[in-house]
Chains A and B, each alone.
Chain A
């Protein structure tokens, strides 16, 4: 026989009250754990995704939108920027790599991103199987010319003029390397073909590019980033698709009609970051943004919502603590005789105090443990929604240090809740409570 056995017996005797108050603690802990876990997990995923993307450049507008679109395959592209900027940056001695991206299509909701072979090399993405697509600058220039001719043809048709006969162009094969999640969820394998739908989101009315199927040449190893959810195609194949001609009214002497959605930069040294950032933003044709900074800003905004949710969870916890205190305090009237018997058997006042506090602590601790399990269950269930909203999921079974603090906090709450009833038990008079009450 020991104190814990006495506490367990007391809890069993008050099974309903113990269960209900334990559930309220579990609810508070589950919410707290889920909020902390999802926030940390998402922040880690977002920060992990920005690794290597020192700076992104795109059309002027919202820097966050540009970063979300370029790095996380979320939101819509803020617009296009001229291809000449890609070449200019690639020629800049301060820039180690300038990787262009063009977006606008999807396959079953997964975004299709046109880029060059520099993409994998620059950011260190490894192939799990197959090979990278083929993309040459010559093929790209040819694709731009074709895109320009398509634009001119469309404009002439609109004006009622006889369209010029488009020149014959050599096309590289339309090839794609797909992310690990895409392969897993769609079942696409190396050697298979797929057809893209227009637009970055799934739409029942979306036009399908049935004349331009892509052949999968490789599947990327999992990265835990947004890259897992992308289909990467050779950039020139992007401009062979009708509707991807890049300007409504190209100028006659335009040396380069090409446009891209964004450019990701890798610099030779961090000291070049701010000069390039200023140069781009001072100009009129594009805007630069630091992904890491934008992600921090995003989570600072999300953090406020997060804090409100956490405050709610803590409030539920406090209410649960009060409920425990009230429940045990009220039970003291019925338990006065039991306390007197224990005292008569030799239990000290301090022992009685400890039994009552331990009971409150045990309810909170049991609720906290159940809550931690419940919190992870919420994360598992929420993963489907998270994937839909952000493209990321959070590992539901990893433990956060914060969870230990939540459990410790719950135990402290229990101890606090137990003090009032324990004091009442402490003061119970033995002699006058030994006889049964009628």
Chain B
């Protein structure tokens, strides 16, 4: 095994359709990301981008193949260990933020910390994403841009090797989207986190030096 942060080999995922036929959603031959890499993975809607991120995060298991994160084949881990591994090694930023509504910004970040046993400073991270004045506000009291910045802080609180972002600007306007995107890239650069972002937005793709189409992974 090399020093790749993410390594996919012969990964297959299919779903059984209502008529009983199997639909191949993911077919990846070989794909690797090194520490500090930042790439945009591009595909049309419904092409399986989110499914691929869930496979990398260990939320879903492939029908076949190897998914290595930081040198660990997560497909071989029992579910509980896979959950713990995900919390400590993978940060996940969602299009719809996925913040818990009953918790403040700070509490949402600390939730991420709790499951990953992280020792990062949640307050410092929120300051870094320019939310020092919003620590104790609940998501409903935050703008959508602020909510996504909370989600970024939460994804980074355990200093993960790999950050997965599933169309993180999809729910934001252009200005907010650009700001969030730059922020995410900046903090990943500073922390040498590997960033894999899926998108179908050409505007987002332009921010990345390396853009990979999902079909190219076959």
A residues with a Cβ closer than 8 A to B are: 1-2, 5-6, 9-10, 12-13, 337-338, 341-351, 430-431, 434-436
Picked from A1, A342, A348, the residue with its CB within 8 Å of the CB of B80 is: A348
Query: Contact: B113 with A1, CB < 8 Å?
Result: yes
Query: Contact: A1 with B59, CB < 8 Å?
Result: no
CB contacts (< 8 Å) of A347 on chain B: these are 83, 87, 115
CB contacts (< 8 Å) of A2 on chain B: these are 114
B12 in the interface, Cβ–Cβ < 8 Å? no
Picked from A10, A337, A346, the residue with its CB within 8 Å of the CB of B115 is: A346
A343 to B115, CA, bound (A): 9
B103 in the interface, Cβ–Cβ < 8 Å? yes
Query: Contact: A10 with B87, CB < 8 Å?
Result: no
A213 to B117, CA, bound (A): 84
B96 in the interface, Cβ–Cβ < 8 Å? yes
Query: Contact: A1 with B102, CB < 8 Å?
Result: no
B residues with a Cβ closer than 8 A to A are: 51, 54, 57, 59-60, 79-80, 83-84, 86-88, 92, 94, 96, 98-103, 107, 110-116, 154
Query: Contact: B86 with A12, CB < 8 Å?
Result: no
Query: Contact: B100 with A350, CB < 8 Å?
Result: no
Query: Contact: A345 with B112, CB < 8 Å?
Result: yes
Picked from A1, A5, A6, A346, the residue with its CB within 8 Å of the CB of B83 is: A346
Distance from B84 Cβ to chain A, minimum over Cβ atoms (Å): 6
Query: Contact: A1 with B84, CB < 8 Å?
Result: no
Query: Contact: A431 with B115, CB < 8 Å?
Result: no
Query: Contact: B96 with A435, CB < 8 Å?
Result: yes
Query: Contact: B94 with A434, CB < 8 Å?
Result: yes
A349 to B113, CA, bound (A): 17
Chain A residue at minimal CB-CB distance from B122 = A1
Picked from A6, A342, A350, A431, the residue with its CB within 8 Å of the CB of B54 is: A431
Greatest chain B CB density within 10 A among A10, A345, A348 is at A345
Chain B residue at minimal CB-CB distance from A9 = B102
Query: Contact: A436 with B102, CB < 8 Å?
Result: no
CB contacts (< 8 Å) of B86 on chain A: these are 344, 346
Query: Contact: B102 with A12, CB < 8 Å?
Result: yes
Chain B residue at minimal CB-CB distance from A6 = B111
Query: Contact: B102 with A13, CB < 8 Å?
Result: yes
Distance from B83 Cβ to chain A, minimum over Cβ atoms (Å): 5
Query: Contact: A341 with B59, CB < 8 Å?
Result: no
Picked from B84, B92, B96, B103, the residue with its CB within 8 Å of the CB of A348 is: B84
Query: Contact: B57 with A344, CB < 8 Å?
Result: yes
CB contacts (< 8 Å) of A434 on chain B: these are 59, 94, 98
A6 to B111, CA, bound (A): 9
Query: Contact: A344 with B59, CB < 8 Å?
Result: yes
CB contacts (< 8 Å) of B102 on chain A: these are 9-10, 12-13
CB contacts (< 8 Å) of A341 on chain B: these are 98-100
Chain A residue at minimal CB-CB distance from B116 = A346
Query: Contact: A1 with B79, CB < 8 Å?
Result: no
Chain A residue at minimal CB-CB distance from B166 = A434
Query: Contact: A350 with B80, CB < 8 Å?
Result: yes
Distance from B204 Cβ to chain A, minimum over Cβ atoms (Å): 19
CB contacts (< 8 Å) of B88 on chain A: these are 346
Task: Check A431/B59 contact, CB under 8 A, given A9-B102, A348-B80.
Answer: yes
A315 to B62, CA, bound (A): 50
A and B contact pairs by CB, cutoff 8 A, 15 listed: A1-B110, A2-B114, A13-B101, A343-B83, A344-B98, A345-B87, A345-B111, A345-B115, A346-B116, A349-B80, A351-B115, A430-B59, A431-B51, A434-B98, A435-B96
A342 to B99, CA, bound (A): 10
Known A-B contacts: A2-B114, A347-B115, A431-B51. Give 13 more (CB < 8 A): A9-B102, A9-B107, A10-B102, A341-B98, A341-B100, A342-B115, A345-B115, A346-B116, A430-B54, A430-B59, A431-B59, A434-B94, A436-B96
